[in-house]
């Protein structure tokens, strides 16, 4: 193999596909990137046996061929070259030369025949999403994905695809995030996509003028655009029937300014640490009073709000409440409260397409 390409294009492509490369593996080839030069392009592939990422860049291919190179080593070398072009040559024994300007690296590649083949998912085209819509739906909900492997289905996001709408749901037992958008889908299917896949996909699909094509079946999902293709295994298992846990109605309705409420919670959180995880004691009565006490001290803070209905005092985990405020991306939010121990609904004031649930914390003296 021998080819010449733009250094910046190659560096960006290596960084992109490296998101699917295993950092440490008992199988060395999984720590590498498969590079295949043919025609007028260089195709790069990273695959950790759960998620695969491929992309192609323009290249002047002098001799077609393929080689597997260490993702970290390749990325570091290309990034530090001072020239605008990179020449890569690999022999049949995988001895590889990476040259840019007067700098030349000689390294040993790995046998491309040992690189695992990406699965053929046989997934049918399901729907298309504008890139900003795809990113918004994932970013608005990803914070609520469970980190606990005891319930594997909740370590991913549910994509409930219907012919006329897409609903994305994440939950971890303490909070829940739902967002819904109108779409035109080719079929009706529910799939659970690993959080890692979605977190990396939104970093790759950044061009707002592109469309993300989604193909899915019961085992795989494929996201593709003009620049990248991401293939991932799905998570098997039963996702919680989230509709059943959403309270109907409310006894207290509170309209808050997101920035003011966030600042108040952050002030109160100064006396909360990993070791001292006391909840916030928040009272909705005429205005909002935020209290907290730990062995470091105590704090009381107040802010104005529009409050309708019965006064109520609720305990909240400070981080869960801050996440709901931060990822709402709204100026004003509505909190609908059914009681001191009922899940609290968090909604956009001016109407919108998302709903958060935050479970209250029971006080030790209750």
Q: How far apart are CA 158 and CA 213, in angstroms?
A: 17
37-56, pLDDT tens digit by residue? 999 999 999 999 999 999 99
Q: What is the DSSP string of 307-359?
A: EEE--EEEEE-HHHHHHHHHHH--SEEEEEES-TTSPEEEEETT--SEEEEE-
- pTM score, two decimals? 0.93
109-133, pLDDT tens digit by residue? 999 999 999 998 888 999 999 999 9
264-314, pLDDT tens digit by residue? 999 999 999 888 788 999 999 999 999 999 999 999 999 999 999 999 999
Q: How far apart are CA 133 and CA 181, in angstroms?
A: 8
CATH (residue range 246-358): 3.10.150.10
What's the pLDDT band for 366 if we cut at 50, 70, 90?
very low
Q: Exposed/middle/buried for 87, CB within 10 Å: 0-12, 13-18, 19+?
A: middle
Q: Where are the domains of the chain?
A: 2-114, 125-243, 246-358
CATH ID of 2-114, from 3.40.50.1390, 3.40.50.150, 3.10.150.10, 3.10.20.70: 3.10.150.10
Give the pLDDT mean for 147-162: 95
Q: How far apart are CA 197 and CA 11, in angstroms?
A: 21
Grouping H, G, I as helix, E, B as strand and the rest as coil, residue 361 is coil
CATH ID of 125-243, from 3.30.70.100, 3.40.47.10, 3.10.150.10, 3.40.50.300: 3.10.150.10
Q: Which residue has the tokens 């409260």?
A: 337
Does residue 336 contact residue 347 with C-beta atoms inside 8 Å? yes
C-beta neighbour count of 24 within 10 angstroms: 6
What's the pLDDT band for 365 if we cut at 50, 70, 90?
low
For residue 345, give the nearest of 272, 262, 266, 243 by alpha carbon: 243
For residue 11, give the nearest of 81, 61, 103, 59 by alpha carbon: 81
Does residue 270 contact residue 294 with C-beta atoms inside 8 Å? no
Tokens of 144: 């609520």
What's the pLDDT at 23?
86
Q: Exposed/middle/buried for 79, CB within 10 Å: 0-12, 13-18, 19+?
A: middle
69-116, pLDDT tens digit by residue? 999 999 999 999 989 999 999 999 999 999 999 999 999 999 999 999
Does residue 8 contact residue 16 with C-beta atoms inside 8 Å? no
């Amino acid at each position: 193999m021998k080819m010449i390409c733009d250094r910046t294009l190659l560096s960006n492509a290596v960084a992109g596909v490296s998101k699917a490369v295993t950092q440490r593996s008992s199988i060395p080839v999984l720590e590498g990137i498969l590079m295949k030069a043919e025609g007028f392009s260089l195709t790069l592939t990273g695959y950790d046996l759960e998620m695969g990422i491929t992309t192609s860049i323009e290249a002047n291919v002098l001799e077609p061929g393929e080689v597997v190179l260490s993702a970290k080593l390749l990325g570091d070398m290309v990034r530090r070259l001072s020239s605008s072009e990179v020449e890569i040559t690999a022999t049949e024994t995988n001895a590889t030369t990476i040259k840019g300007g007067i700098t030349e690296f000689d390294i040993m590649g790995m046998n491309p025949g040992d690189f695992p083949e990406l699965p053929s998912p046989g997934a049918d085209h399901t729907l298309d999403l504008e890139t900003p819509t795809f990113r918004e739906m994932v970013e608005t909900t990803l914070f609520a994905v469970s980190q606990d492997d005891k319930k594997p289905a909740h370590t991913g996001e549910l994509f409930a695809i219907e012919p006329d709408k897409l609903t994305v749901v994440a939950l971890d037992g303490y909070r829940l995030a739902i967002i819904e958008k109108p779409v035109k889908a080719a079929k009706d299917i529910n799939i659970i996509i690993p959080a890692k896949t979605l977190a990396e996909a939104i970093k790759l699909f950044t061009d707002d003028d592109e469309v993300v094509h989604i193909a899915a079946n019961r085992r795989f999902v494929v996201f593709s655009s003009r620049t990248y293709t991401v293939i991932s295994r799905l998570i098997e298992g039963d996702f919680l029937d989230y509709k059943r846990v959403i309270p109907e109605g409310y006894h207290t309705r509170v309209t808050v300014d997101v920035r003011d409420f966030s600042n108040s919670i952050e002030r109160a959180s100064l006396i909360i640490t990993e070791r001292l995880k006391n909840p916030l004691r928040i009272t909705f009565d005429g205005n909002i009073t935020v209290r907290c006490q730990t062995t470091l001290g105590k704090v009381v803070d107040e802010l104005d709000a529009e409050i309708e209905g019965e006064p109520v005092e609720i305990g909240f985990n400070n981080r869960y409440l801050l996440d709901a405020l931060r990822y709402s991306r709204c100026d004003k939010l509505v909190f609908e409260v059914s009681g001191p121990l009922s899940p609290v609904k968090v909604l956009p004031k001016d109407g919108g397409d998302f709903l958060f649930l935050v479970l209250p914390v029971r006080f030790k003296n209750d």
